[in-house]
A and B are shown apart, each in its own frame.
Chain A
Amino acid sequence: MSGMSGISVENLTKRFKDETVLDGVSFDVPKGGTLVLFGSSGAGKTVLLRCIAGAIEPEGGIVRIDGQDLHDVAPEKRGIGMAFQNFALFPHMSAFENIAAPLRARRTRKAELKAGVEGVAKLLKIDHVLGHAPKALSNGQKQRTALARALAAEPGVLLLDDPLRNVDAKLRFEMRLELPRLLAGRGATVIYVTQDYKEAMALGDRIAVLDGGKIVQMGTPEDIYRRPASMGIARLFGDPTINLLDVVPENGGGGIIARLSDHAVPLSPGLEAAVGRNCVLGIRPEAMAFSDDGDGVPVTIEAETPLNEKTVTLAKTMRGRELLVSRPAGTPAPVSGAAHVVIDASDVILFDRTTGARIAPDLADAEAAA
């Protein structure tokens, strides 16, 4: 257990007055790996980071870095670099001094310090504004100064608290490409917090989804995207959000099916247990396509709208249920009016209607059925 992991959090609990913000959170981040902490606001991500950094004392649980219990270790001795959501730059110091702070704390010699600061500033392309005070910097420059400060002393652990949140969309997109490069070269163990699922998918080896103070799912981006543990999680990952339709699976067509517009949509083998249960069918808008040749689920097209790089079509099933279908912008529109939508069984996710939890295909049953 110890000595292996970069960061290890065990059963962390934190309460503010009557509210339990963190409820027994546990996870490991291997040395040099990147974990993305994902969740909506109020889920407890920031509190969690602060507990690891030592800025807040948890009520219970253990935080370890490289196997060492950090309980009595003051924040300044933990060897962490942290970048804050609202930058938290020192307003009365220049950008240079801001970035130099961790190096000064380690009593770095003057020449080395200068080289260190300028080096990381150059990396982040802010070397030309080093002499400015924070209020003279643009948001993008502030964000990069905050990042530079976190990176300057080459800490073993990096905690990045939604650093791209307060930055405009264009810069956010650029940084989303740059950051992995930046972080890769340094070998630090990274925890990255974000509310943006695209960022999460782009940056993390693994994603931990935090909700109500608990980790509700942890896995690779692919895991979370294709096999979300609950409807809530499925909704968070995807834009436009996943289509969720109430169905009751039946036997039919040589396997299990669900009915949409009275059309039988085949479900993956192994879901026998779901037959007859109240379920919810989850299909991502990008997982559907309009078919040219009359087979698929019959729908009527209601409206279309561009969304970033996609075009989203609002369609209605025969029973009046709404379906969002997206396709890359520029691909041809379906023939209007009545149309058919093709759905692949492997793209369909089935949830239990009462608990909201995903119903995983039972592979043993699948084999039996095959």
Chain B
Amino acid sequence: MEHTSPLERWLRGIALTVIVLFFMFPIFWIVLMSLQTNETILRSPPSMVFMPTLQNYQAIIAGRLDSNVASMSIEFMGNLFNSIILSVGSVALALVLGVPAAYAFARHKFRGSEDIAFTLLSFRFAPPLLVLLPLTMYFQQLGLADTYIGLIWVYQLICLPLILWIVRGYFEDIPVDVEHAYRIAGHSWLSTFRKIALPLAGPGIAAAGLLAFIFAWNNFIFALVLASADKQPVTVGALAFVTASGIQYGQIAAAVVMSIAPTLALALYAQRYLVEGLSLGAVKG
């Protein structure tokens, strides 16, 4: 099957190069922009040769931008902090709620378990605004309007179905006899869960957690609708940043880079599990 002519290999090489260029270019370019001063950015034609500067990052991290016109405080670090709290918090909660539930679904085919599992899965595909818009009304009444808790709870809509479906698969992959053997040897079901099921499903749980983190971090619409001004994560914050800072393109670029860096890093670190996770286990990675 491998008699590719040199021409073919050439064409394939060109095709792949074009493809890689297309997909890598925007990231490359935005990183470039983040290292340029406003003047460099606005220079026309755009140049690749310039003196890189870290002033954009410094401005964001320091939280203020001093220009010859005025001083402006930048709230972006707050957004970063919010993203971390929301993502980590949501995933943590989803794991605590979802892993035992996944175990129950995997091991005890009780009445209604399939239906509940399906319903949860269908949440993943339902339009979020359907639920978010009414929730804006309820949030006020429930006192959740300006809280992390409220957001973390709503974020469960993103994280829980994912954790449940992926982790359930991993629990199901453990042969039942192994658990039986541990119990018959004299251990309680809790001990079996902790010492046998959890360790053996460990990689899957980690993968699911990672994926849930990425989805929570990248979420935009939930935060846009429900997050109060000081609880906004980077996705909403970056956009607001554009409107607020107006012409500080370098800083906008730096803010974008800081916003996408965590998920890109995680993706590189955990890419083995992404295939399985993204397809909800339909394809083994």
A–B contact, 8 Å CB criterion (strictly below): yes
| Chain A interface residues toward B at CB < 8 A | 50, 53-55, 74-78, 80-82, 84, 86, 88-92, 101-102, 105-106, 149, 153
- Judging by beta carbons under 8 Å apart, are A76 and B196 in contact? no
CB of B186 closer than 8 Å to a CB of A: yes
- Residues of B close to A80: CB separation below 8 A: 184
- Judging by beta carbons under 8 Å apart, are B186 and A106 in contact? yes
- Judging by beta carbons under 8 Å apart, are A90 and B178 in contact? yes
- Judging by beta carbons under 8 Å apart, are A91 and B187 in contact? no
Nearest-neighbor residue (CB-CB) of A101 within chain B: B185
Nearest-neighbor residue (CB-CB) of B178 within chain A: A88
In the assembled complex, the CB of B176 is this many whole angstroms from the nearest CB of chain A, namely: 8
The A-B contact count (CB < 8 A) is 64
The docked-state distance in angstroms from the alpha carbon of A302 to that of B177 is 49
The docked-state distance in angstroms from the alpha carbon of A102 to that of B184 is 8
- Judging by beta carbons under 8 Å apart, are A76 and B175 in contact? no
- Judging by beta carbons under 8 Å apart, are A76 and B200 in contact? no
The docked-state distance in angstroms from the alpha carbon of A153 to that of B184 is 12
Most chain A CB inside 10 Å of its own CB: which residue of B183, B184, B188: B184
The docked-state distance in angstroms from the alpha carbon of A53 to that of B196 is 19
- Judging by beta carbons under 8 Å apart, are A53 and B178 in contact? no
Q: Which 8 A-B pairs have CB atoms at the shortest separation, nearest pair first?
A: A105-B186, A88-B177, A102-B185, A101-B185, A88-B181, A55-B180, A75-B183, A76-B186
- Residues of A close to B188: CB separation below 8 A: 74, 76
- Judging by beta carbons under 8 Å apart, are A91 and B200 in contact? yes
- Judging by beta carbons under 8 Å apart, are A105 and B185 in contact? yes
The docked-state distance in angstroms from the alpha carbon of A89 to that of B200 is 12
- Judging by beta carbons under 8 Å apart, are A90 and B196 in contact? yes
CB of B262 closer than 8 Å to a CB of A: no
CB of B63 closer than 8 Å to a CB of A: no
26 contacts between A and B (CB under 8 A): A53-B184, A54-B183, A55-B183, A55-B184, A74-B183, A74-B189, A76-B184, A76-B187, A76-B188, A78-B184, A80-B184, A82-B180, A82-B184, A84-B177, A84-B181, A86-B175, A86-B177, A88-B178, A88-B180, A88-B181, A90-B181, A90-B196, A101-B187, A105-B185, A105-B187, A105-B191
- Judging by beta carbons under 8 Å apart, are A53 and B180 in contact? yes
- Judging by beta carbons under 8 Å apart, are B181 and A92 in contact? no
Give a binary string over B184-205; 1 marks a CB under 8 Å from any A CB, 0 the rest.
1111110100001001100000
Q: Of the candidates B177, B178, B186, which one forms a contact with A153 in the assembled complex, judged by CB atoms under 8 Å apart?
A: B186
In the assembled complex, the CB of B192 is this many whole angstroms from the nearest CB of chain A, namely: 9
The docked-state distance in angstroms from the alpha carbon of A90 to that of B192 is 11
In the assembled complex, the CB of B186 is this many whole angstroms from the nearest CB of chain A, namely: 3
- Residues of A close to B215: CB separation below 8 A: none
- Judging by beta carbons under 8 Å apart, are A91 and B178 in contact? yes
- Residues of B close to A55: CB separation below 8 A: 180, 183-184
The docked-state distance in angstroms from the alpha carbon of A91 to that of B184 is 17
- Judging by beta carbons under 8 Å apart, are B175 and A88 in contact? yes
Q: Of the candidates A75, A86, A106, which one forms a contact with B184 in the assembled complex, judged by CB atoms under 8 Å apart?
A: A75
Most chain A CB inside 10 Å of its own CB: which residue of B185, B196, B200: B185
CB of B182 closer than 8 Å to a CB of A: yes
- Judging by beta carbons under 8 Å apart, are A102 and B178 in contact? no
Nearest-neighbor residue (CB-CB) of A46 within chain B: B177
The docked-state distance in angstroms from the alpha carbon of A80 to that of B180 is 12
The docked-state distance in angstroms from the alpha carbon of A91 to that of B182 is 12
In the assembled complex, the CB of B168 is this many whole angstroms from the nearest CB of chain A, namely: 20
- Judging by beta carbons under 8 Å apart, are A54 and B184 in contact? yes
Q: Of the candidates B178, B186, B191, which one forms a contact with A89 in the assembled complex, judged by CB atoms under 8 Å apart?
A: B178
- Residues of B close to A89: CB separation below 8 A: 178, 181
- Judging by beta carbons under 8 Å apart, are B175 and A101 in contact? no
The docked-state distance in angstroms from the alpha carbon of A102 to that of B180 is 12
- Judging by beta carbons under 8 Å apart, are B183 and A101 in contact? no
- Residues of A close to B187: CB separation below 8 A: 76, 101, 105
Most chain A CB inside 10 Å of its own CB: which residue of B180, B186, B196: B186
- Residues of B close to A78: CB separation below 8 A: 184
Give a binary string over B206-240; 1 marks a CB under 8 Å from any A CB, 0 the rest.
00000000000000000000000000000000000
- Residues of B close to A92: CB separation below 8 A: 199-200
The docked-state distance in angstroms from the alpha carbon of A86 to that of B180 is 12
A76-B177 contact in complex given A91-B200, A92-B200, C-beta closer than 8 Å: no
Nearest-neighbor residue (CB-CB) of A53 within chain B: B184
- Residues of B close to A77: CB separation below 8 A: 186
- Judging by beta carbons under 8 Å apart, are B181 and A76 in contact? no
- Judging by beta carbons under 8 Å apart, are A50 and B186 in contact? no
- Residues of A close to B177: CB separation below 8 A: 84, 86, 88
The docked-state distance in angstroms from the alpha carbon of A86 to that of B200 is 18
- Residues of B close to A54: CB separation below 8 A: 183-184
In the assembled complex, the CB of B220 is this many whole angstroms from the nearest CB of chain A, namely: 40
Given A55-B184, A76-B185, A153-B185, list of 17 further CB < 8 A pairs?
Answer: A53-B180, A54-B183, A74-B188, A75-B180, A76-B183, A76-B186, A81-B184, A82-B180, A82-B181, A84-B177, A84-B181, A88-B181, A89-B178, A92-B200, A101-B182, A105-B191, A149-B185
